[in-house]
Amino acid sequence: MRRVVVVGAGPAGMAAAVCAAEGGRQVTLIDDNPEPGGQIWRGETEGAWFERLQRVRVARLPSARVVTGDPDARALTVELPDRTVTVTWDDLILATGARERFLPFPGWTLPGVLGAGGIQALVKSGLDVRGKRVLVAGTGPLLLAVAALLRSRGANVLGVAEQASGASLRKFAFSLPWRKLWQGFELRRGIRYWTSCWVESAEGRDRVERVRLHGRGVVECDYVAVGYGLVPNTELAQILRGAGTLVGECNGVGGVEKSLIEGQIAGHAAAGNAAGAARLQPELDRARKFAASLDKAFALRPELRHLAQAETLVCRCESVTHGDLKEFGSWREAKLYGRCGMGPCQGRVCGPAAEFLYGWQPSSVRPPVLPARVGSLLGEQHE
């Protein structure tokens, strides 16, 4: 029987695994978290897709990170907590999701300044924010979801600073179906929402105490949650030189519905169910149209390129500042001669920032895609 391997157990990967398994395929689902759910359903166990996943036979590899792979051998190198294994595939589906984009501004590395999705994950894992003054800033619909979660956990949400303009957001809102528009209103209810507004700097002695907001002055706070949209995780796909089907946010940021539809289509296709895949095409077209309008409405404004000062860190792993980078003309030069992107995150944080700030295109991706044990890279593998 053909073996379908799915990397990533977020909504896209879960849907792909379920549809392939329901179609009779032998499926292995790999994710670096202990439980399925990905970003949006982190910590949850209930819902239609969790139930369907429970009902089918899917071999799960939890807490397992795919660190590299060989497209010729159709093999992935997978680090488990206690050993490294090789997993081979007949059909490969990559559902590796997206990560947050961080843009440097003075004070962005102070304790208490967190990613919007980062604080969301911490709160879901138990961070107590009761009574804490939190400012949420950046861009995109995720900010509202984060603000709503923080408020539901007792935080004093001071407001949401959205860099996109009011005009751009109104145009976007008018293009939305009623259901999505209503969801947005519900999330925003009772939360101050400032458009054309962003964090210019964060200040504090040992941790953030206040931020300066464009056009709004100084706001005292305990936490700042900042996220400038999402960046698709395509590194594994690049290492695998196009082997496998990309689904979900790694194939273009567009929200959970697009992820679920793309996952189902890939799962049906892997199971040879062409009719099942074709039936979902109209939904996919709608979801991709929504993704395109999201992209346009929340496009980053050029002013954000000028927030970093000479001493502001761009690569925090290797302590490379905006001033240090002025002498380089490309990402490759900055890596080779300035060590930018050479630290543990391998440019996953500073790479997208440098792309926006300096227009540098990332150079080719090298393994490992995630921090890995040396033994895994040397090929000490045990099945």
Ligand X SMILES: Cc1cc2nc3c(=O)[nH]c(=O)nc-3n(C[C@H](O)[C@H](O)[C@H](O)COP(=O)(O)OP(=O)(O)OC[C@H]3O[C@@H](n4cnc5c(N)ncnc54)[C@H](O)[C@@H]3O)c2cc1C
Q: Does residue 69 belong to the site contacting ligand X (CB under 6 A)?
A: no
Convert residues 4-23 into a mask of x (bound to ligand X by CB under 6 A) and - (unbound).
Answer: ---xxxxxxx----------
Tell me the two tokens of residue 148.
């709503």
Stretch of 30-38, 201-209, 313-321, 352-360 contacting ligand X, by CB under 6 A? 30-38
Give me the least distance between CB of 46 and ligand X, in Å please.
16
Considering beta carbons, is residue 181 or 219 the nearer one to ligand X? 181
Q: Does residue 249 belong to the site contacting ligand X (CB under 6 A)?
A: yes
Contact yes or no for 267/94 (Cβ under 8 A) = no
Contacts for 116-119: CB closer than 8 Å, 24+ residues apart: 116/142, 116/143, 116/146, 116/225, 116/226, 116/227, 117/39, 117/142, 117/146, 117/227, 118/225, 118/227, 119/146, 119/150, 119/223, 119/225
Q: Does residue 97 belong to the site contacting ligand X (CB under 6 A)?
A: yes
Q: In the beta sheet, which residues pair with residue 75? A: 70, 88
Residues 6 or more apart whose CB falls under 8 angstroms from that of 348 comprise 99, 235
Q: Does residue 233 belong to the site contacting ligand X (CB under 6 A)?
A: yes
Q: Does residue 40 belong to the site contacting ligand X (CB under 6 A)?
A: yes
Tell me the two tokens of residue 186.
């519900």
Tally of CA atoms within 13 A in the half-sphere of 179 that contains its CB? 1
CA dihedral 139, 320, 32, 265 (to 10 degrees): 50
Q: Does residue 370 belong to the site contacting ligand X (CB under 6 A)?
A: yes
Question: Residues 25, 65, 74, 335: which binds ligand X (CB under 6 A)?
Answer: 65
Residues 6 or more apart whose CB falls under 8 angstroms from that of 167 comprise none
Q: Does residue 229 belong to the site contacting ligand X (CB under 6 A)?
A: no
Considering beta carbons, is residue 201 or 381 the nearer one to ligand X? 381
Please count the residues of this chain forming the interface with ligand X, following the rule CB under 6 A. 36
Q: Does residue 145 belong to the site contacting ligand X (CB under 6 A)?
A: yes
Stretch of 1-9, 18-26, 52-60, 155-163 contacting ligand X, by CB under 6 A? 1-9
Gyration radius (Cα) of the chain, Å: 21
Give me the least distance between CB of 51 and ligand X, in Å please.
17
Q: Does residue 79 belong to the site contacting ligand X (CB under 6 A)?
A: no
How buried is 73 (Cβ within 10 angstroms: 0-12 exposed, 13-18 middle, 19+ buried)?
A: exposed
What is the rounded CA–CA span in Å between residue 258 and residue 95? 12
Question: What residues between 321 and 340 interact with ligand X by CB under 6 A?
Answer: none
Question: Residues 5, 21, 29, 32: which binds ligand X (CB under 6 A)?
Answer: 32
Question: What residues between 98 and 117 interact with ligand X by CB under 6 A?
Answer: 98-100, 117
Q: Does residue 224 belong to the site contacting ligand X (CB under 6 A)?
A: no
Which residues are at the interface with ligand X (CB under 6 A)?
A: 7-13, 30-33, 38-40, 65-66, 95-100, 117, 120, 142, 145, 230, 233, 236, 248-249, 255-256, 259, 369-370
